[in-house]
Structure 1
């Protein structure tokens, strides 16, 4: 799947938003990707996961025993990646602020794991999920995401495979351009505070 085809999927599902957004990273942007919208169509989610799985090197794909994603954003794409790779998928969540496996999910010692996210911006959630997976006995051998918004600066400590890299500018609070600052910032996504 080419970049334009991926963007067409986001546009068709109205998942590519424009306005003034305060991202979970604390940075401001004129663009926001609502991956939950692009993934709400099971056929679209399946197509995107298959395309993402195809980006993984063949020798890496054959080594993956489990897919683990961080809740909430990674749950659907993680499940679909498990389907695309023919392995079990599970997720880590933060009941007390730190990612952990729950709900009877467990890894066998040394399980080779692909950690899958929806969007990576700073990589903080990804690194926290990777640490939780390693603490649970798994070995994260690679990470994947639908979208890399890091501007190519991400280092997760393992090979990283995004379906698409989108480099919409983001700004620190004291760097927001006047035309963006003229409108109120909206906090989209699952970590929005009302």
Structure 2
């Protein structure tokens, strides 16, 4: 069984947790950033965490695991491998999350949505909408890190390898900006 202590050990070993002044995908600012992509450099860590989360969904008869590009692609693939399910990913086209590359979800398919990090859950909600539009059944959400500390409700089973609350600020109320000592950085894949 994957323990919180083991997950934290993995996060520390893979240098996932960053300190500074960060612009989150949600548009909010934070003094911490979980760069979960760094875990994905280590297949053994990714497999260990995915195995622990896959155990939470063994009884759910998952047909498909889908993740949003980019953060959810590798993690959803590893979860699908562990669950012996098909793997898909959704990506943005003209600002909207969509299925491309000939991907589709059969009507009634049991789908697990996977993501690396959630703060507001926006990308996961967009993927859930795609699954529903395709008439699939969302049976759960699996994430590496839940930055909301379990406060987000997707109307389905949610399991996170680590659930934590990292303080974030509205840009107009950001204490770090007001101090003016640290530059604002967007460490993810999108530019400022």
TM bin, normalised by shorter chain, reads over 0.9
Q: Is the 8 A contact 1:20 1:180 kept in 2?
A: no
Q: Is the 8 A contact 1:148 1:162 kept in 2?
A: yes
1:162 aligned onto 2:163? no
In the alignment, which residue of structure 2 is the partner of 1:40?
41
Tell me how many residue pairs correspond in the alignment.
190
- Three-state SS of the structure 2 residue aligned to 1:145 is strand
Question: 1:163-193 CA distances to partner (integer Å, 9 max, x unpaired)?
Answer: 1101121111233225864211111101233
Q: Distance in 2 between matches of 1:98 and 1:157?
A: 22
When structure 1 is superposed on structure 2, of 135-144 and 110-119 the one drifting more is: 135-144
The CA RMSD over aligned residues, in Å, is: 1.6
- Three-state SS of the structure 2 residue aligned to 1:37 is helix
**Structure 1 stretches (4+) deviating beyond 6 angstroms?**
none
User: TM-score, normalized by length of structure 1?
Assistant: 0.91
Report the CA distance shift for 1:175/1:41 in structure 2 as closer, same or farther (over 3 A). same
In the alignment, which residue of structure 2 is the partner of 1:191?
190
Instruction: Structure 2: state its 5+ residue gaps.
Output: none
Q: Distance in 2 between matches of 1:124 and 1:149?
A: 13
In the alignment, which residue of structure 2 is the partner of 1:23?
24
In the alignment, which residue of structure 1 is the partner of 2:102?
104
Question: 1:45-93 CA distances to partner (integer Å, 9 max, x unpaired)?
Answer: 111100111233x432xx2111011111000100000011111111011
1:59 aligned onto 2:55? no
Instruction: Structure 1: state its 5+ residue gaps.
Output: none
- Three-state SS of the structure 1 residue aligned to 2:112 is strand
Report the CA distance shift for 1:73/1:180 in structure 2 as closer, same or farther (over 3 A). farther
When structure 1 is superposed on structure 2, of 2-11 and 86-95 the one drifting more is: 2-11
User: TM-score, normalized by length of structure 2?
Assistant: 0.92
Query: How far 1:4 moved relative to its partner?
Result: 1.9
Q: Distance in 1 between matches of 2:156 and 2:173?
A: 31
Q: Distance in 1 between matches of 2:150 and 2:86?
A: 29
Q: Distance in 1 between matches of 2:161 and 2:151?
A: 16
